[in-house]
A and B are shown apart, each in its own frame.
Chain A
Amino acid sequence: MSSTPNVSARFAKNRFRNTKELIIEIILFFAAFVSVATTVGIIWVLVSESIHFFEHVSFFDFVTDTLWTPLFEDAHYGIMPLLAGTLTTSLVALSVAIPLGTIIAIYLSEFANHKVREVVKPFLELLGGVPTIVYGYFALVVITPLLQIVFPELPGFSMLSAGLVMGVAIIPYISSLAEDAMRAVPMSMREGSYAAGATRLQTALRVVFPAALSGILSAYILGISRAVGETMIVAVAAGMQPNLTMNPMEPAQTISAYIVQVALGDLPHGSIGYQSIFAAGLALMLLTLVFNILGHLLRKRFREVY
C-alpha cells in the first residue's frame, strides 16, 4: 500500500500546476488587454490635451474661423482650412481608388483565371507594403512634373498630385478586401445566374456585387479611413500652407500634415501650439469615427445572409 503517499504527492503537483496555469492565463489576459489600454490611452491623451486647448480657444472659433495660424503672432484657430485640405485630398484619392479598386476586385474574383490571380495577388500585397514616404517622394518628383505638362499652371505642391498618388497607394487595400467579399459569395448563386443565361459581366454586376455589397462597403470604409489619416504623401507633395479651398489644383495643408509640421519644429511642452496638434488629432479621430459609423449603418442596411 505504498500508493497513498504517491497520490497526495501527485495532488500537490496538481495544485502547483493549477497555480501555474492561472498565472499564465492572467499574463495572457494582460497581453490582450494592452489593446484596450491603447484605445483608452489614445482617447485620454487627445481629450485631456484638447481640453487645455479649448481653455484658450473657444469651440465656436475652432469650427467657424476660416484661418488656421496657430504659430503666427496673430493666431487664429479655425479647423476649416485643414478640414478642407483633408477632405479634398481624400476625395481625389478615393475617386481614383474606389473605381479602380472595385474594377480590379471584380476582375480578379470573376474574370481572371487562377494563374493570373496567384501571380497578381501577392504583387498587390507588395504594393500595399510600400512605405508612404516613398509614395510622397514619387508624387513630388515624378507625378507633379507630369501633371504640369497637362496643366501648366499647376504649382509645385498640389492636392491633385498628392491625392492621385494616395489613391494608387490605397487601391490594394480596397481591391483585396472587396475581392475577399466577392469570393465569399456562394458558387451556387453564380451557377444559377449562368443557368438563366447571364454572361459573366451580368452575373458579376447584378448577382455577385449586390450579394457582396456589405463586405465591399467595409473595403471602402477602410479606404476612406486610410485616405483621411494618410500623412506623409500629403506632407511631402501637397504643401504646408493651410488653405481654405476645395480646388485640388491648389496647395493646401491637411490635419495630419499640420501635426507633422508642428512636430518637426521645436514647440515647448504645454504651449498652445503643442496643445493644438492634439485638438487637430481629435478632429481627425472624430472624422474617421463619423465615416466608420456611417459605414456601419450602410453595411447593416445591405447585409445579406446565406
Chain B
Amino acid sequence: MKIEAAANLPELKAIIQKSKRFDLIFSILGFLALLLAVMTFVVLFAQMAITGWERISPEFFTNFPSRRAGSAGILSALVGSILVMLVTAFAAIPLGVGAGIYLEEYAPKNLLTDIIEINVTNLAGVPSIVYGLLALGVFVYGFGLGQSILTAGLTLALLILPIIIVATRESIRAIPQHIREAAYGMGATKWQVVKDHIVPYSLSGILTGIIIGLSRAIGETAPIITIGALTFIAFLPPSPVGAEFPWINFEWLSSGFTVMPIQMFNWTSRPDEAFQVNAAAAGFILVLLTLSMNALAIFLRYRLRKNISW
C-alpha cells in the first residue's frame, strides 16, 4: 500500500501543481478585472481634470452660462443644485427616517406592512427616468407646481427615499433588544424609547444613508430633464433670505432653474469643441462633489463600526 502511494506521488504532485496554477491564474484574472474597473475611473477623473483645468477659475463659478464657451460659468447651475438639494433634504429626511422607524419599531405584522416592505424594495429598482414621468404627470401638471425647484426637489426626494429607508432600518436593526427592554422597564413610552434611544444610537448609520442618498440625487440628470428643466438659465432664483421682515421668502421654490448635471449635459451635447472643455470642468467639479459626499459617508460608517460596542 505504502509503495503504491509512493509510486503515485509524482502524478499526484503534478495534479496539485496544475490545480494551484489555476488558482494563480484566477487570482491574476480577478486582480486585472478589479484594475480595469478602478483604472476606468482614474482615467475618467484624470481626463476631466486635465481637459477642464484651463477653464477652472474663480470666474467659472461666478459666471452665468454664455454663448461663448470661454466666458461661460456654472453659477446658476451650482445655485440651482444647492437649492434643489435643500428641498430634497427637507422632504426626504423626515419621510425616509420616519418610514424606517415605523417599519422597524411600530409596524404590526400584517398584509399592509408586507406590501409597504416589498414596495420599498421594488422602488429601488425603478429606472430614475420613470420618476421623472411621475413628476411630470403629478407634480408639474396634476398639482400645478410647474417646472420649478420645488418639483425637482420633491422628485429627487421620492427617488432617494428607498435609500434612506433601507439605511435607517439597517442601523436601527443593529441596536440590541435589551436597550429597548431596559427603557420600557423604566416605564418609557414607545415614542420616548424611539426619540431618546433608537434615533440617537442609530444616528450615524442614518446620516450615512442620507449623505449617500443626497450624493445620488445631486448627480441625477434624467428625471430633472423629464420634468422640463431649462438648459440655459442666465438668472438666479429669488434669494431665500431677504432684508425685510419676515426675512425668509419662498418665491425661489417656484422659480425656474438648472442644475449641475443638466449644465454638463448641455455642454456635452454641443458640437463645438470649446464647450467640451466646459463639460470636462463641470464634470470634474460634479465628480469631486459626489466623491467627497460618498467619502464622508464611507468614513462615517467605518468610524461607526469601530466605535460601537454594546
Chains A and B form a bound pair: yes
Give the docked Cα–Cα distance between A123 and B298 (Å).
10
Query: Chain A contacts of B48 at CB under 8 A?
Result: 134, 137
Q: Give chain A's interface residue range (CB within 8 Å of chain B).
A: 35 or more
Greatest chain A CB density within 10 A among B23, B161, B216, B276 is at B23
Contact of B34 among A34, A41, A120, A204 (CB under 8 A): A120
What are 12 sample pairs from A and B whose C-beta atoms fall under 8 A apart?
A32-B103, A107-B29, A123-B38, A126-B298, A131-B221, A131-B261, A133-B265, A168-B40, A231-B127, A263-B136, A264-B225, A269-B141
Check if A137 sits within 8 Å of B137, measured CB to CB: no
B308 contacts the other chain (Cβ, under 8 Å)? no
Query: Chain A contacts of B47 at CB under 8 A?
Result: 138, 141-142
Stretch of B58-66, B241-249, B250-258, B280-288 with 4 or more beta carbons under 8 angstroms from chain A = B280-288
Check if B127 sits within 8 Å of A31, measured CB to CB: no
CB distance from B281 to the nearest CB of A (A): 11
Chain B residue at smallest Cβ distance from A136: B268
B204 contacts the other chain (Cβ, under 8 Å)? no
A225 contacts the other chain (Cβ, under 8 Å)? yes
A246 contacts the other chain (Cβ, under 8 Å)? no
Give the docked Cα–Cα distance between A134 and B290 (Å).
11
A72 contacts the other chain (Cβ, under 8 Å)? no
Contact of A111 among B20, B26, B126, B161 (CB under 8 A): B26
Check if A49 sits within 8 Å of B137, measured CB to CB: yes
Of residues 244 to 266 in A, which have CB atoms within 8 Å of B's CB atoms?
A: 256, 259-260, 263-264
B122 contacts the other chain (Cβ, under 8 Å)? yes
Query: Chain A contacts of B156 at CB under 8 A?
Result: none
Of residues 77 to 109 in A, which have CB atoms within 8 Å of B's CB atoms?
A: 100, 103-104, 106-108
B132 contacts the other chain (Cβ, under 8 Å)? yes
Check if A39 sits within 8 Å of B137, measured CB to CB: no
A127 contacts the other chain (Cβ, under 8 Å)? yes
Contact of A130 among B29, B41, B128 (CB under 8 A): B41
Top-9 shortest CB links A-B:
A229-B127, A107-B30, A131-B219, A31-B98, A45-B137, A231-B222, A28-B102, A32-B99, A32-B102
A35 contacts the other chain (Cβ, under 8 Å)? yes
Query: Chain A contacts of B101 at CB under 8 A?
Result: 28
Contact of A264 among B99, B133, B218, B231 (CB under 8 A): B231
A163 contacts the other chain (Cβ, under 8 Å)? no
Chain B residue at smallest Cβ distance from A102: B33
B interface footprint on A116-135 (CB within 8 Å = 1, 0 otherwise) = 00001011111101111111
Stretch of A1-9, A61-69, A185-193, A195-203 with 4 or more beta carbons under 8 angstroms from chain B = A195-203
Of residues 1 to 56 in A, which have CB atoms within 8 Å of B's CB atoms?
A: 17, 20-21, 24-25, 27-29, 31-36, 38-39, 41-42, 45-46, 48-49
Check if A39 sits within 8 Å of B119, measured CB to CB: yes
Check if A236 sits within 8 Å of B269, measured CB to CB: yes
B37 contacts the other chain (Cβ, under 8 Å)? yes
Query: Chain A contacts of B161 at CB under 8 A?
Result: 34-35, 38
Contact of B126 among A42, A142, A231 (CB under 8 A): A42
| Interface residue ranges, A against B (CB under 8 Å) | 17, 20-21, 24-25, 27-29, 31-36, 38-39, 41-42, 45-46, 48-49, 100, 103-104, 106-108, 111-112, 120, 122-127, 129-138, 140-142, 168, 171-172, 175, 199-202, 204, 222, 225, 228-232, 235-236, 256, 259-260, 263-264, 269, 277-278, 281, 284-285, 288, 292
State whether A111 and B189 are in contact (beta carbons under 8 Å apart), knowing that A46-B133, A284-B127, A288-B127 are contacts in the complex.
no
CB distance from B85 to the nearest CB of A (A): 13
Chain B residue at smallest Cβ distance from A36: B119
CB distance from B226 to the nearest CB of A (A): 5
Query: Chain B contacts of A204 at CB under 8 A?
Result: 26
Give the docked Cα–Cα distance between A39 and B161 (Å).
12
State whether A199 and B264 are in contact (beta carbons under 8 Å apart), knowing that A111-B27, A259-B129 are contacts in the complex.
no
Give the docked Cα–Cα distance between A137 and B51 (Å).
12
B291 contacts the other chain (Cβ, under 8 Å)? yes
State whether A131 and B127 are in contact (beta carbons under 8 Å apart), knowing that A100-B36, A122-B298 are contacts in the complex.
no
Query: Chain B contacts of A168 at CB under 8 A?
Result: 36-37, 40
Check if B283 sits within 8 Å of A134, measured CB to CB: yes
Check if A31 sits within 8 Å of B94, measured CB to CB: yes
Check if B221 sits within 8 Å of A231, measured CB to CB: yes
Contact of B294 among A39, A100, A125, A284 (CB under 8 A): A125
CB distance from B269 to the nearest CB of A (A): 7
Check if A36 sits within 8 Å of B190, measured CB to CB: no
State whether A126 and B295 are in contact (beta carbons under 8 Å apart), knowing that A41-B134, A120-B34, A260-B129 are contacts in the complex.
yes
Check if B33 sits within 8 Å of A107, measured CB to CB: yes
